[in-house]
Amino acid sequence: MRDYYKGLKDGQEVLIYIEQDQDMDSPLDWSSAVYDHRPLFILTNHTRYSLGDKDAENIAWALLQKCPEWQDSWLEEDEYIWIDGSRDEGGYWKSNPNYLGEGLNAIIEAASRCRAFIKPVYMYDHSGISLSLDNTMYPFNDKWDSGCIGIILWTRQQQDTYGMAEKSDSERSKHADQIISNFFDTYNKYVQGEVYYMAVVDVREEINYLEDRQDLEHGHYSLEDLYLYDIEFCADRGTIIESCGGFYFSDEYTPVIAANEYWGITDMVELFI
């Protein structure tokens, strides 16, 4: 489905249409948690969807093992330890506090010991999926269709490359939370299909065609009526003079702002058909 606008480019009226970008890569592919030090999305705890960074758990272990707090012995500890003495002498098994666990739980425990920043990620799955960093409000607190599917991990060493090395713990936490939220919001829009392609179309020849058709129909329709009635024809048959994909729109960054910023489109208004 398309949204249509008209506007002016270099004084000439043009048609602008916006549609879902079907060929957009994941924003997580634009940079690397290893080389660009951005937050790592470990969203592997789901059987039906492929979400998050590729090979995220292995990357997480590699990042955590670079932390100064890391101890190799953590990977060698068993879940239970035997307290000295035979069974007859009162010996017994006891949970080992150094045991990391397995899978994602082990990563979370190691990250906590390394003072890494962790944010849980929740998913609502019902007629499409959406993600959130907060599960205190509906629909992410729905016990049937939502739940935690993983975490976002950001080590202090990664954060330092974002200018946080000299910040206090409270300042670091606030700054890290904001950066993670920015990455997350873009990724969430991608997951929900809210990524758009926009094209600017020269429709002068198509307008001429509609004018001729208006003459043949003896003025039964106004030119504006014909233009709107055949707007898809105009968009598909016109000459695309500018186009670009990968737009993530918001209340602050609208199609009108983007078209003006990229191509100098002015007087842009939406056409409701």
Q: How many structural domains does the chain have?
A: 2
Answer yes or no: do 121 and 204 share one domain.
no
Residue finishing a domain among 123, 156, 191 = 191
52: alpha, beta or left? (left if phi > 0; alpha if psi -120 to 50): left
Domain that holds residue 123: 27-191
Q: Which residues of the chain have pLDDT under 70?
A: 45, 82, 84-93, 214-223, 226
Spatial distance between the Cα atoms of 144 and 121, rounded to a whole number of angstroms: 16
Please, which residues have CB within 8 angstroms of residue 206's CB and are 6 or more apart in sequence?
Answer: 230, 233, 234, 237, 238
Are residues 36 and 13 both part of a single domain?
Answer: no
Q: Rounded to whole angstroms, what are the CA distances from 239 to 6, 17, 85, 109, 263?
A: 15, 13, 86, 57, 15
Q: Which pLDDT belongs to residue 92?
A: 64
Do residues 158 and 218 both lie within one domain? no
Domain identity same for 150 and 180? yes
Residue at a domain's end among 141, 164, 191: 191
Together in a domain, 126 and 200: no
Write the DSSP assignment of the chain as a string of letters: --EEEEEEETTEEEEEEEEE-TTPPPGGGSS-TTTS-PPEEE----SS---SSTTHHHHHHHHHTTSTT--GGGGG--SEEEESS-GGGT-EEEE-TT---SHHHHHHHHHHHTT-EEEEEEEEESSSEEEES--SSTTTT-TTTEEEEEEEEE-HHHHIIIIITTS-HHHHHHHHHHHHHHHHHHHHHHHTT--EEEEEEE-HHHHHHHHHHHHHTTTSS-HHHHHHHTHHHHHHHSEEEEEEEEE---SSS-HHHHHHHHH--EEEEEEP-
d(CA 199, CA 220): 31
Residues 48 and 180 in one domain: yes
Q: 110-157 pLDDT, tens per residue?
A: 999 999 999 999 999 988 889 999 999 898 998 889 999 999 999 999
Query: Nearest to residue 113, comparing CAs of 98, 96, 133?
Result: 98
Task: Indicate if 83 and 61 belong to the same structural domain.
Answer: yes
The pLDDT score that the predictor gives to residue 143 is: 87
Is the domain of 133 the same as that of 237?
no
| 32 and 147 co-located in one domain | yes
pTM of the model: 0.82
Q: Are residues 86 and 166 in the same domain?
A: yes
Same domain flag for 212 and 174: no
Q: Final residue of a domain: which of 134, 162, 191? A: 191
Predicted local distance difference test score (pLDDT) of residue 45: 65
Beta-carbon count within 10 A of 112 CB: 11
Indicate whether 139 and 264 sit together in one domain.
no
Q: What pLDDT does residue 222 have?
A: 65
